[in-house]
Structure 1
Amino acid sequence: MSNDFDTKREQLLSELQDILQTAEELFDEGKDVSADEFKKLKKRLTEKSGSYRQQLDDLQEKFSAKTRQAAKQSDALIQDNPYKAIGIAAGVAFVAGLLINRK
């Protein structure tokens, strides 16, 4: 999952850089181009941003699904072993308390 997430993240960052570059072109060339060329640049920017938004939505949905799955697995594990969960939580709290009081 981590590798897939990193790959998607890199793709989105690349897409975002393309959008920013197109936006810079749009603003830099805005004074020197005709209305038709301006519309073409604007259309290109809109298409790229739409693609970026769709990829971001897909990545968010996948991440949310994985998070929900992990939460369900954690819940099932805790319900199956409640005393172990309580013991681990108490141990973590004890260690945290020791570290906090250790000034």
Structure 2
Amino acid sequence: MPRKSNANATTDALLAEFQALVADTEKLLQTSTELAGEEADRLRDQLRSGLHRARERIDAAQESVREHGKAAVDATEDYVGEHPWQAVGLAAGVGFLLGLLVGRR
């Protein structure tokens, strides 16, 4: 369970970051025609900062997903290596069920 809560926390943080980024972008677009000089520069800097934070979080999330995927692949390979006939039976059962579902159409 810790993996899921960590993944959910990462997802929530990413969503919050993107919502803030969208809000900043909308604010910049709405006021871009009215602003000049330092105010426009300040808003652009805020937007760049938001984009940079979002990019860093995306990179971190990508690495986390990659690590979890590699762990899942390793665990699957270990299980199949230790229990080959059970893996074949499971795959056959899943294939049979999918065949039944597709055949009903």
What TM-score, normalized by structure 2, do the two folds share?
Answer: 0.88
In the aligned structure 2, how far is the partner of 1:94 from the partner of 1:21? 49
Q: 1:34 to 1:77 in 2, by over 3 A?
A: same
Moved over 6 A (4+): none
How far apart, in 2, do the equivalents of 1:21 and 1:99 lie? 44
Tell me the secondary structure at the aligned position of residue 31 of structure 1.
coil
- The one of 36, 39, 44 equivalent to 1:37 is 39
Which letter does structure 2 place at the counterpart of 1:72? D
Give the superposition deviation at 1:33.
1.5
Match of 2:67 among 65, 68, 83: 65
Query: What TM-score results when the alignment is normalised by the length of structure 1?
Result: 0.90
In structure 2, the partner of 1:89 is 91
The alpha-carbon deviation at position 84 of structure 1 amounts to: 1.1
Q: Structure 1: state its 5+ residue gaps.
A: none
**Identical aligned residues as a percent:** 25
